[in-house]
């Protein structure tokens, strides 16, 4: 009887421990991060109030200092996506302490790639526009207008748009290019480099320019940093969900504070936060517990009306090079053309070349120049190849129309002669 009781007690303890472990691996609530432009005006007012509170209570300054202090090891290396994912979780946790009904929204900047400055995010009711060059590039509109930043010094928020005209921003990478790097990046660090040194860098430079805060190591003082980086995290989530094996992929050489390098793996601690990298790969598990409103898992297919258009309008060579999943016989593979308007621009008109970092700016940021230039060259080659295909398609259509016109004229002449 004694042994029976002891065994029963052991079984009960084991079951309780197992239940506790299983529950610890599950989220009691998964928050959904929304597209910032789909939030209702009334709901947006609650965001504005919470964001301004964070600017006034020192949260933005604290986060900016953390980012600044670890800048060298969290950029241009494998920690980039991982570290910023948890950094955004830190921001979102502070946001939800102010208002538990809120979640960090994302700004799908690629969807507005042709003329970014026309986006609603730069309007008075959102984040405001360019800084005034006649007043130290201070931002005087939007939710941070008349609010001083406290780090690295007390002064105004600054922006310095980079575009062909005053207060304009040059185009950056298109949704089609982002889809291409999702489909063609077979390793984590290849994908990380392709994303960091394309859309990520272009948006920081396009908004921050040479003197704005968005191009600095303390860029989180600008509230636009957070929806921008939420979108970068969202794109990574899309890549993770594009193939079953991608969710747990980690590789690459991680830079250490002393300048040496170490192989990235699931047990490496994040700079400052200390959490292990393997603990934050799946956003739908603790401690993160969030997802995005347009994430499609690898077990479900996202139907899209543009798939057949791409297959029909792009040559097999371009499909193989840039969109290999469109040639795949695996019809269960999820695709990622989530913005139909901007994708149609990628199909039916020439693409603009995206804004790029100069070698001097890349060096100023401490980036590996060869890595930056390699990705930027790839982005430009993508535009060139897509545009060449567009030209060939346009010329072919023109020849077809001309042939039809000639045939119609000949038919009219024959009818005239018969009469």
Residues 7 and 206: their CA atoms lie apart, in Å, by: 67
Instruction: Write down the pLDDT at residue 18.
Output: 32
Torsion of CA 67, 70, 72, 76, to 10 degrees: -60
Low-confidence ranges of the chain (pLDDT < 70): 1-24, 296-308, 329-347, 397-419
Contact criterion met (CB below 8 Å) for 209 and 159: yes
Residues 397 and 60: their CA atoms lie apart, in Å, by: 54
Domains, in order of start, for the chain: 28-359 (1.10.1280.10)
Instruction: Write down the pLDDT at residue 147.
Output: 94
Instruction: Write down the pLDDT at residue 314.
Output: 87
Provide the 3-class DSSP secondary structure of residue 163: coil
Write out the two tokens for 34.
């929304």
Contact criterion met (CB below 8 Å) for 116 and 169: yes
Provide the sign of the torsion angle of the four alpha carbons 3, 4, 9, 15, taken in this order. Answer: positive
Provide the 3-class DSSP secondary structure of residue 18: helix
Instruction: Write down the pLDDT at residue 401.
Output: 63
DSSP 368: -
Instruction: Write down the pLDDT at residue 300.
Output: 45
Write out the two tokens for 18.
């197992």
Give 43-64 pLDDT, tens digit per residue: 999 999 999 999 999 999 999 9
Instruction: Write down the pLDDT at residue 398.
Output: 67
DSSP line for 323-359? -GGGT-S-TT-------HHHHHHHHHSPPPPPP---H
The contacts of residue 325 (CB under 8 Å, 6+ apart) are: 183, 333, 335
DSSP line for 93-115? HHHHHH-TT----B--GGGG-SS
Rama region for 154: left / alpha / beta (φ>0; ψ in -120 to 50; rest): beta
Q: What pTM value is reported for the model?
A: 0.88
Instruction: Write down the pLDDT at residue 312.
Output: 78
Residues 126 and 111: their CA atoms lie apart, in Å, by: 17
The contacts of residue 220 (CB under 8 Å, 6+ apart) are: 60, 63, 64, 67, 87, 91, 226
Residues 60 and 66: their CA atoms lie apart, in Å, by: 10
């Amino acid at each position: 009887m004694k042994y029976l009781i002891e065994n029963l007690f052991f079984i009960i303890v084991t079951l309780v421990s197992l239940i506790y472990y299983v529950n610890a691996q599950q989220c009691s609530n998964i928050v959904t991060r929304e597209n910032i432009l789909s939030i209702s005006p009334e709901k947006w007012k609650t965001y504005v109030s919470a964001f301004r509170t964070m600017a006034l209570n020192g949260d933005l300054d604290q986060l900016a200092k953390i980012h600044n202090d670890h800048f060298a090891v969290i950029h241009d290396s494998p920690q980039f996506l991982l570290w910023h994912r948890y950094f955004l979780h830190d921001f979102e946790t502070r946001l939800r302490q102010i208002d538990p009904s809120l979640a960090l929204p994302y700004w799908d900047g690629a969807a507005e790639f042709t003329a970014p400055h026309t986006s609603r995010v730069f309007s008075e009711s959102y984040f405001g526009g360019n800084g005034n060059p006649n007043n130290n590039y201070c931002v005087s509109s939007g939710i941070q207008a008349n609010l001083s930043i406290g780090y690295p010094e007390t002064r105004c928020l600054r922006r310095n748009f980079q575009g062909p005209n005053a207060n304009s921003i040059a185009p950056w990478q298109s949704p089609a290019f982002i889809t291409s790097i999702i489909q063609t990046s077979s390793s984590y660090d290849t994908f990380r480099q392709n994303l960091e040194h394309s859309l990520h860098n272009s948006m920081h430079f396009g908004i921050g320019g040479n003197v704005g805060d968005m191009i600095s190591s303390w860029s989180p003082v600008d509230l636009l940093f957070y929806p921008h980086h939420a979108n970068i995290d969202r794109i990574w989530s899309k890549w993770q969900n594009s193939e079953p094996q991608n969710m747990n992929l980690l590789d690459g050489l991680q830079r250490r504070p002393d300048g040496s390098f170490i192989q990235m793996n699931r047990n490496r601690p994040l700079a400052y936060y200390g959490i292990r990298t393997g603990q934050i790969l799946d956003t739908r598990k603790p401690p993160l517990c969030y997802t995005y409103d347009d994430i499609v898992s690898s077990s479900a297919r996202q139907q899209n009306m543009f798939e057949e258009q791409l297959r029909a309008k792009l040559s097999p060579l371009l499909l193989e090079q840039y969109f290999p999943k469109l040639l795949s016989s695996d019809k269960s593979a999820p695709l990622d053309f989530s913005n139909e308007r901007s994708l149609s621009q990628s199909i039916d008109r020439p693409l603009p070349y995206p804004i790029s970092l100069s070698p001097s700016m890349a060096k100023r940021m401490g980036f590996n120049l060869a890595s930056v230039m390699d990705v930027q060259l790839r982005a430009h080659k993508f535009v060139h190849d897509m545009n060449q295909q567009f030209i060939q398609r346009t010329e072919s259509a023109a020849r077809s129309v001309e042939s039809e016109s000639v045939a119609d004229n000949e038919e009219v002449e024959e009818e005239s002669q018969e009469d």
